[in-house]
Amino acid sequence: MVMKELYVKIGCAMLAVCLFTFLFVFGKDRGDLRPVFSHSFKVEEKVNAILKENEAKELVANENIKNKFVYLAFQDGETFVSHFVDATTGEETDFTTYLKSGTEEAFSKKVEELLYLKYPKFIADVLNDANLPKMYQVLETELVIHYTSDSLRSLISDSLYLRVNYNDIKDYLDFPVSLDTEYEQEKGYALDKNKKAIAFTFDDGPSGALTNRLVDILEQNKAHATFFMVGNRMEYGAEVIRNVLNKGNEIGSHSYAHKNMKRQKLEDIVSGEEKTKEIYRNITGQELLYTRPPYGNVNKSIKETLDTTFITWNVDTEDWLHRDKDYIVNHILEHVSDGDIVLMHDVYETTIDAVEEVLPKLYAAGYQVVSVSELAELKGRTLEKHSLYRSLKEVE
């Protein structure tokens, strides 16, 4: 009996030695001299520690991603938190650990490109800071990057995040992913019917460098506008006109010579409009759809005669009178509401300065600043010819 027990103990010891030798050799072949069973134990230990640390939060993900890493994500109110545990070492890492060697800079450049595509410059500049805290959310066909910025939190209540489809970064990832056959990048110009919207309009141009500067400011803030241009100024502003249109804005007529229509003969008004349309057509190959009568003066006869849609305004900044940036900014912020059409002029530097300051504030307040056509689309309105619109709340 004693000998039998001795044989059993010797057999168990030999089995343990064989198992240890197998594991040791297997581990050595993988470039790791540690026994492989310690890996899974360390991974499990780290995952359990993270789960315990975040037990008060809602667990939204606990997944082993292609045996590369364990991805854990938690939601705590508006705050998103993610953790990555290396499936080989059991150490906590970061998503960027799983980029192919040498592609880190290319990955960062792609994220930067998409940030400036989605957000206005004043936001993208902050989010593009490499030292800004961020969390990575791994989904089936996309990566979502969540940002935390104290400097923007006081301005913007919305969560700040960027969706990155794997099609855009597949060459940088060191693990296999699922790819969409079709996808759309997040663009800051995408219209959102759930958000407030106002139309910015500018009269009396084109005005050379001032108009071009204004167009740049609109572009940087993911905004569009409608420019009502004077026909006899269009003839000398072809390049400016093309720049306005190329950046997603639109152009309407502001008559040929900026004369009060109510004081003109009807045939002269018609002749001037036709001349303006021809100039515009020769420059762009397009047709003018809208007309803003100088001083907003128009009567029933003019509306019935001209084959156009009349656009005036319901928020007048009086920027021609108050050549003061702060006055214009405050007037806009105090008077605009959803559906308004705002009147300004792109011939005054103070107006351009005001637009540069007010656009980020309007964005932070939840407004989309758009062209008249875009405002009509957002409000589900068809702008009829021979009608006059003071806003997308009012029609005559």
How far is residue 237 CA from its own chain's centroid? 31
Tens of pLDDT, residue by residue over 184-194, are: 999 999 999 99
**How do strand 79-86 and strand 92-93 relate by DSSP bridges?**
antiparallel
pLDDT of 39 = 67
Of 39, 83, 331, 345, the active-site residue reads 345
Q: Please name each of the domains of the chain with its CATH number.
A: 97-172 (no CATH), 196-389 (3.20.20.370)
What region does 154 belong to: left with phi over 0, alpha with psi -120 to 50, or beta?
alpha
316 is known as an active-site residue: no
- pLDDT at position 14 is 53
User: Could you tell me the CA-to-CA distances from 246 to 190, 220, 350 in Å, in that order?
Assistant: 17, 14, 24
Given the residues 83, 86, 146, 203, the one annotated as active site: 203
Strand-pair category, 69-76 with 79-86: antiparallel
Determine how many CB atoms are found less than 10 A away from the CB of residue 300: 10
Provide the pLDDT for residue 158. Answer: 85
Query: What DSSP element (H or E) covers 61?
Result: strand 58-65
CA dist., res. 95 & res. 294, Å (int): 58
Beta bridge mates, 395: 389
End-to-end distance of the chain based on CA atoms, in angstroms?
A: 110
**Helix 349-364 with 208-220: angle, nearest 10 deg:** 10
Give yes or no: 203 in active site. Answer: yes
Q: Residue 43 corresponds to which amino acid?
A: V
Residue with tokens 């168990």: 12
CA–CA dist 16, 195 (Å, integer): 68
Which pLDDT does position 19 carry in this prediction?
A: 45
- Can you list the positions of beta strands (E) in 90-189? 92-93, 134-138, 142-147, 160-165
> CA angle 189-193-199, nearest 5°?
60
Q: How far apart are CA 349 and CA 372, in angstroms?
A: 23
The first and second tokens of residue 330, run together, are 């405050």
Residue ranges of the chain with per-residue pLDDT less than 70: 1-39, 394-396
Separation of alpha carbons 245 and 235, rounded Å: 16
Find the helix or strand (DSSP H, E) in which 198 lies.
strand 196-205
What does the alpha-carbon distance between residue 67 and residue 217 come to, in Å, rounded to a whole number?
47
